[in-house]
Amino acid sequence: MSITLPGPTLGVVGGGQLGRMLAEAAAPLGVDLVVLDPTPDCPAAPVAADQIVADFDDADAIGELAARVDALTFEIELTDPAVLAAASEDHDVPVHPDPATLETIQDKLVQKEALADAGIPVPEFVAVATAEGLERVVEEFGGVMLKAREGGYDGRGNVPVETPDEAAAALDQIGGAAMAEEFLDFEREIAVMGLKGADGETRTYPVTETVHREEILRESVSPARADDAVVAEAESVARDVLAVLDGRGVYGIELFETREGEVLVNEIAPRPHNSGHWTIEGARTSQFENHVRAVLGWPLGPTDLVAPAVTANVLGDAEATGPATLRNVESVLSAPDADLHWYGKDDVYPLRKMGHLTVPGGSDDGADRDALLSHARELRDGLTFRDA
């Protein structure tokens, strides 16, 4: 392959924070981004070359996007795979990851079935349609996590059900097709950012520990504070997952480490993922740059760890509703070891991801990640959306 600059133009369905960081990573490579998003002046708009304002599944708009670019990708799973595939064919423009992979991922039950059929370890799961059926499953599993099969993200669409008498209300809250998954007594949640490039090349980033509360990712610790055997198993499982999925790009692979040291797949995102934001400062090539490279069929960048890193998400708090103004930012900017990323969202509401900060450590893998985590939390918790 011969690559010249200025480079190609990449079309991205979705212009949220992931689209923004993709545009930031693409610019030094000489690659322009055109994003499609229904929100005027979306977070990616200030750094992308242009925005098409349209719904994620608008066939005419996606066709317009395909006509203007050299390759297509997506940073949100709410687009229609059939529309993407048709636009790709009509305009002879490649789309990655493959729309068939997106279709599999969009339905959590279909996703789990595909993984289980491939022999990849997953928690026990079952489709549920009625309160009576869910009651039986709750009794059998001793409690479940009820998940919306489609449309859930950032913990939304997940409802814990601990007793049979909670079944009916939980199904009403989901409001559609659902899947019940066994509660796991896990040691920690971990993740691997997997990467598929041209000619079947695959790479993985170091295993990351992810810290959730209320089903929302709060912090990540890289590398994970897990035993070497668990890390090796997580990397092996991630490579098995990549073998099941078609199309180039970055895949966020969320995993559980059980008390017994097993590694089970939770969910997969066929795009850059919050679990991999640490790679901007902590890896030789960020997940965003490598996604751009992979989708374009360019050589992949190294995924090696540069330094241990802890990332803390900046979320809207319980009282934060309305126009977004982040205060006390100087406390983070004054810290010599912290990097702040603001997503440019106009409005804040409780638990909405508004930005993140990363605290990298030294070059030694044995750096005190507990101390890094404590420091990142302290800096993050000093930020506020409320008046003093």
**Binding site feature residues:** 108, 147, 181-184, 189, 212, 266-267
Distances (CA, A) of 245 to 26, 183, 362, 383: 24, 26, 35, 39
CB 53 within 8 A of CB 29: no
Q: Is 377 helix (H, G, I), strand (E, B) or coil?
A: helix
Taking a C-beta distance cutoff of 8 angstroms, is the pair 35, 42 a contact? Answer: yes
Location of structure tokens 């897990």: 226
Q: Which helix H or strand E contains 159, and what residues bound it? A: strand 158-161
Question: What residues form the annotated binding site for ATP?
Answer: 108, 147, 181-184, 189, 212, 266-267
List beta partners, residue 170: none
> What residues pair up with 255 in beta bridges, in sequence order?
190, 265
Going by C-beta distance under 8 Å and a sequence separation of 6 or more, which residues neighbour residue 377? 219, 312
Which residues of 205-298 form beta strands (DSSP E)?
Answer: 208-213, 216-222, 249-258, 263-269
CA 80, 85, 91, 95 torsion-angle sign: positive
Residues 6+ apart with CB under 8 A from 213: none
Beta partners for residue 161, in sequence order: 144
